[in-house]
Amino acid sequence: MATKFDAIMARRGEIMRKALGMDYSVFEQSPIAFDYEGMMEAHGYSLQDIVAIQTKAGVGNTPLLELKNLTDVVRSMSEPGKGARIFVKDEAANMAGAFKDRRASVSIHVAKEKGYEGVIAATSGNYGAAVSSQAARYGLKCIIVQETFDSRHIGQPEIVEKSRICEAFGAEVLQLTVGPELFFHMVELLDQTGYFAASLYSSFGVSGIETLGLEIADEMTALTGAPPTHCVITHAGGGNTTGTARGLKRAGATDTQIISASVDLSGLHMASDNDFNRKSFTTGHTGFGVPFATWPDRADVPRNAARSLRYIDRYLTVTQGEVFYITEAMSKIEGLERGPAGNTAMTAAVSLARDLPRDATVVVQETEYTGAGKHHWAQLNFAKEMGVEVRSGDPRDNVPGKVIVIPERPEQIQAKDFDVARMRTSYVRNALKQTPEGYVPTADDIAFLAADTNSDAAAVEAILVALKEA
């Protein structure tokens, strides 16, 4: 197995070039820098082209809802003059029930246009359903590779549900136990089938999310007279943050603060057989959010289009119990029963809005559908079965993998700031690890690192000095 693994992964670049129809090497500028914007534009589709593709595919133009009842709750516990208006983009209205339909719609369109017989994606959740749905609509074959079980063949209810949904759309689902084999099997299948790689991290998929930012800017301007002051985005692999932020900026919303939000699962390892079923969130957590932000090119493609540090102004974390509380509250006071991923950002937004002036506007840019396995009660019951204590109380007592504490009052919801400066340092350190021994970053490298970390040349140079002295 090790020999086969090494042989396939050694050819990954060649296989992915064929599977995406894109030669990433043309964008490389040095061991550190590459032409990011050139890569993003290389597919040749304008933003309006993508809008047309998605409209034809039944994707996008989802409702923007003002959550007046939730805003009233926030204002009831805020200081005088505080309590921003909260809005949400209801992405559950898409074909397969999540914003990832936007990603899939572009990738599947490209696959069809380029004459591929089928598509393959590696995913445990909403993206698999989106790819399967769009592949069915375009008449393409589809294979979804999914981490489903621990070594005892116990699977997360949400992941198992997504397997069934993908199969309902006609996809073949390859179910794996947790471990390092996910991308290997995907690359191996791409080599064997000649199918298109519907990667989460290609420029096709991330460009598809830009329409979400565009719609938010336009709809908020029509509704309130200006783009939102803040946009809160659930953060996992970084594509959601990247695409939405790019769309907002392209629509002229350059002053909108980009706030990423993740569930704090610190202490749990995402590739651990023991930890796999001791978390109640399959996405939108720090186990993906931090590693992918601090080194995006760990993905299946040679260069990842999802580079969230380019756009993050602030990164908030919340606990599992706080998200379950808001998920229930959204059902009870807004009539929106939606899944946990979008409600991660909603939980952070409640905490954020509490400290902002009343004339500020906070948009949570997605919801996702909920169902039998995704429902918060199913997740909590599964957590209990896995030996996790579930109780009400102070959410600060939450211990990932051991205790889920659900707040008793909305005042207890307090998002925490994750140190973005520390993330920038980690990113620069990881970039240096990819260079030959003794390599000295050039001025162009420093400019690239500054852009890729949303900082400036002086900040990058200070990080380089600190790393050298460490």
Q: Residue 290: is its pLDDT beyond 80?
A: yes
Q: Which residue has the tokens 């090790």?
A: 2
In this prediction, residue 2 has a pLDDT band, given cuts at 50, 70 and 90, of low
pLDDT per residue as tens digits for the range 74-113: 999 999 999 999 999 999 999 999 999 999 999 999 999 9
- Residues 6+ positions from 9 with CB-CB distance below 8 Å: 184, 187
Residue 295 has a CB neighbour count (10 Å cut-off) of: 17
Decide: 234 and 341 in contact? Cβ < 8 Å: yes
Measured CA to CA, the distance from residue 402 to residue 381 in angstroms comes to: 14
Residue 274 has a CB neighbour count (10 Å cut-off) of: 12
- Residues 6+ positions from 385 with CB-CB distance below 8 Å: none
Q: Residue 358: is its pLDDT beyond 80?
A: yes
For residue 246, the model assigns a pLDDT of 98
Q: Residue 444: is its pLDDT beyond 90?
A: yes
For residue 9, the model assigns a pLDDT of 82
pLDDT per residue as tens digits for the range 129-138: 999 999 999 9
The fraction of the chain above a pLDDT of 70, given in percent, is: 100
Same fold yes or no, 2-53+98-202 and 60-97+204-418: yes
Q: Residue 1: is its pLDDT beyond 70?
A: no
For residue 180, the model assigns a pLDDT of 76
Determine the 3-state secondary structure of 403 from DSSP. Answer: strand
Least confident of 133-147, 268-282, 292-306: 268-282
Determine the 3-state secondary structure of 322 from DSSP. Answer: helix
Residue extents of the structural domains in the chain: 2-53+98-202, 60-97+204-418, 426-469
What integer is the mean pLDDT of 108-127?
Answer: 95
For residue 248, the model assigns a pLDDT of 98
Spell 209-244 as b/e; 16+ CB within 10 A means b: bbbbbbbbbebbeeeeeebbbbbbbbbbbbbbbbbb
Alpha helices (H) along 139-281: 157-168, 182-193, 203-224, 239-250
| DSSP state letters, 73-116 | HHHHTSPTTB--EEEEE-GGGSTTSSTHHHHHHHHHHHHHHTT-
What integer is the mean pLDDT of 333-355?
Answer: 96
Give helix then strand counts, H and E, for the chain.
18, 13
Q: Is the Cα dihedral 381, 384, 385, 388 positive or negative?
A: positive
pTM of the model: 0.96
Dihedral angle at the C-alpha atoms of 211, 213, 217, 222, nearest 10 degrees? 50
In this prediction, residue 37 has a pLDDT band, given cuts at 50, 70 and 90, of very high
Decide: 171 and 89 in contact? Cβ < 8 Å: no
Cα-based distances in Å from 413 to 76, 86, 92, 317, 417? 14, 16, 25, 11, 13
The fraction of the chain above a pLDDT of 90, given in percent, is: 91
Return the CATH fold of 60-97+204-418.
Answer: Rossmann fold (3.40.50)
Decide: 300 and 122 in contact? Cβ < 8 Å: yes
**Mean residue pLDDT across the chain:** 95
Token pair belonging to 468: 């050298």
Determine the 3-state secondary structure of 449 from DSSP. Answer: helix
In this prediction, residue 179 has a pLDDT band, given cuts at 50, 70 and 90, of confident
Measured CA to CA, the distance from residue 438 to residue 440 in angstroms comes to: 6
**Which among 99, 98, 124, 120 has a CA at the least distance from the CA of 111?**
120
CATH among 3.40.50.1100, 3.40.50.9100, 3.60.150.10, 3.30.710.10 for 2-53+98-202: 3.40.50.1100
In this prediction, residue 4 has a pLDDT band, given cuts at 50, 70 and 90, of confident
In this prediction, residue 445 has a pLDDT band, given cuts at 50, 70 and 90, of very high
Least confident of 59-63, 277-281, 359-363, 429-433: 277-281
Decide: 196 and 120 in contact? Cβ < 8 Å: yes
pLDDT per residue as tens digits for the range 412-439: 999 999 999 999 999 999 999 999 999 9
